[in-house]
Every structure is written in C-alpha cells, then in structure tokens.
Amino acid sequence: MDVEIISSKDNKLLDRKEINAIVQFEGATPARKELREAVSTKIGLNPDLTILNSVVNEFGVKKIRLLAHSYKDMKKLMEVEPEYLRKRDGVGVPKEEKKEKPKEEAPKEEPKKEEKKPEPKKEEPKKEEAPKKEEKPPEKKEEKKKEEKKPEEKKEEKKGE
C-alpha cells in the first residue's frame, strides 16, 4: 500500500491535524482500519487518535482519496467528532458495546431456524375442478386472417365489375 500525503493542515481551533491523502493499493480495497494505520504511521501520529472523515474509492483505479483528522488526545476527539464516525472507525467506542450487539442478534436468529423446519404436510384430496377449456388461440388468429381476406376479395370483385 502506497500512501501519498497531498496536504497536512494544523487546525488549532479544534486541536487536530487534517490530512488529505491518496492511497494506492493492490488487490482488494483495504479496510478502514488498515487505511487509518497506514496514513497515521506515514505522518508519525497515533492511529488510535485518528478518524477517517471521508474515504472515496476512485472508479476503475486502485486508488483511494481520503480525509483524516488526527487529534492529540482522546478527550478532544470525543468532543469534536460525531458518534457515527467514531463507531464507523471503532475509535473511542467502549469495547462492551461492540460485544453486546452480536449477543442480542444471536437469539433472534435461533427461533427463525426452528420455524424454517416445516413439518411434512399431508396432501389433502383436491376438490373437483371445472375442466379446463382447450386453448384455440392459433385457430382464432387464422380465422381472423380469413375474415380479413374476405373484405379484400369483396373489394376486388367490386373493382372487377
């Protein structure tokens, strides 16, 4: 993975460093965690205090443009960055919350599996159905063609007289 830093700006008001970078990669698109670590180590910052604000994968090229915010301490990161970005990158989120979610989802899946096992149904005798009508659309089409020819024949007869 090749990281190219386009710009690095110190934002003193928010006490963070804003980094624009381009990452070139081989194979599959790297995970956000891998991108965060690659950009942070390139500049020499702590990856645990870095948030990826924007990650855009360019179409048809193995290249990603990204905007990262790196803070000096966790307290400032928690104050400034929105919760959804912290959750997305797994930064500043207690580990307990991550573990609880799979436990809640697991019991929900188990009853569904039990319901999916239907008991073999007994075939009930079918009620007598009205006999199906034989389809004769091709014949009807032929009849229409014959009918269409008849008026033409009449016109020819009139012209001939």
DSSP E strand boundaries for the chain: 2-11, 16-24, 50-57, 63-71
Q: What is the architecture, at CATH level 2, of domain 2-94?
A: 2-Layer Sandwich (3.30)
Once rounded to an integer, what is the mean pLDDT over residues 2-30?
Answer: 93
- Tell me, what's the pLDDT at 130? 62
Q: Is 23 helix (H, G, I), strand (E, B) or coil?
A: strand
Confidence of residue 7 (pLDDT cuts 50, 70, 90): very high
Q: In the chain, where are the structural domains located?
A: 2-94
Q: What is the secondary structure of 59-100 as a DSSP string?
A: TTSSEEEEEEEEESSHHHHHHHS-HHHHHHHT-S--HHHHHH
Q: Of 100, 86, 112, 29, whose CA–CA distance to 63 is shortest?
A: 29
Q: Of 12, 7, 92, 11, whose CA–CA distance to 43 is shortest?
A: 7
Question: Tens digits of per-residue pLDDT, 37-95?
Answer: 999 999 999 999 999 999 999 899 999 999 999 999 999 999 999 999 999 988 877 76
